[in-house]
Amino acid sequence: MKRILETTLLAVALAVALAASAAAQSPANPRLRLATTTSTEQSGLLAAILPVFEKETGYKVDVVAVGTGASLKIGEKGDCDVVLVHARALENAFMAAGFGAERRDVMYNDFVVLGPPADPAKIAKAKTAIEAFSLVFAAKVPFVSRGDNSGTDVKEKDIWKASGLAPKGATWYKEIGQGMSQAILMAEQIGGYTLADRATWLSMKAKSSLSILNQGDKLLFNPYGIISVSPVKWPTTNIEGAKALVDWITGSEGQKLIAGYAIGGEQCFYLY
């Protein structure tokens, strides 16, 4: 009888523990909305890390992958809970306007200048990104711009500005208003150049005839930040979920998964 009672009590204790564990894995509001860049999705990074976060926390992350500018606009309207983007000036403006509750550095990689192997503008000999862009401008060969206020588009415009050149309106300068993969595909189709983030390029290079013709310039540095949307601006924001994701992705496990993510043996993102 005593053994039966002990077994029953043990079963009850186990049931209580399991129930508590299940409760801990079931947030009051499990839906979490993430607005992010095309590079984090098209590179495959999100598909590699978010399922781990979801399994551990009980949150379900709904992802909208657009450019950085569009992601921040979604945050400004309160239509997401957290943004993961890569244009520091735009991120700073977002925080200064009170749309963000907290911003943290997550990771970085770099941009690369892609072009056809024949390299009609001869940018492979350029020592800097500004020199590479200047050679494209002088040769008047096609250059495909995303033209979507994404982090890549902002960086591209910064390089043109630093070069003192203004290609907008030129027949060879193609602003397409689309994502990175579309820009790469169009550049290939018309034998032109484009600026791309390295992670997206790694995910596409097996299907493309383009080559990296300029890289390594410090101007091509590409940092990513994560921002929780302010509950002061938008009281319906899932701030608990946003904080959970921010903490996890900048914590030891999230950072380890990011650093370990590679395509074809090549690391896509690096840690600070």
Asked whether residue 97 is domain-assigned, the answer is yes
Cα–Cα distance for residue pair 179/261, rounded to 1 Å: 22
The number of domains in the chain is 2
Tell me the two tokens of residue 166. Answer: 């203004």
What pLDDT is stored for residue 25 in this prediction? 63
Gap between the Cα atoms of 181 and 203, Å rounded: 9
| CATH at 212 | 3.40.190.10
Q: What is the mean pLDDT of the chain?
A: 92
Which residues of the chain, if any, have pLDDT below 50?
Answer: 1-24
Note whether residue 11 is domain-resident: no
pLDDT of residue 26: 83
The parent domain of residue 196 ranges over: 110-220
Q: Is there a domain that residue 251 lies in?
A: yes
What is the chain's alpha carbon radius of gyration, rounded to the nearest angstrom?
23
In the DSSP assignment, the letter for residue 207 is G
Instruction: Give the count of alpha carbons within 13 A of 268, CB side only.
Output: 27
Residue 141, pLDDT score:
98
CA distance 195 to 214: 10
Q: How far apart are CA 19 and CA 256, in angstroms?
A: 30
Select from 203, 199, 198, 202 the least CA-distant residue to 217: 198
Q: Is residue 78 domain-shared with residue 211, that is, in the same domain? A: no
Q: Which residues, 6 or more positions from 75, have their beta carbon under 8 angstroms from its beta carbon?
A: 35, 83, 94, 99, 100, 227, 229
SS3 72: helix
The C-alpha atoms of residue 237 and residue 232 are separated, in whole angstroms, by 9
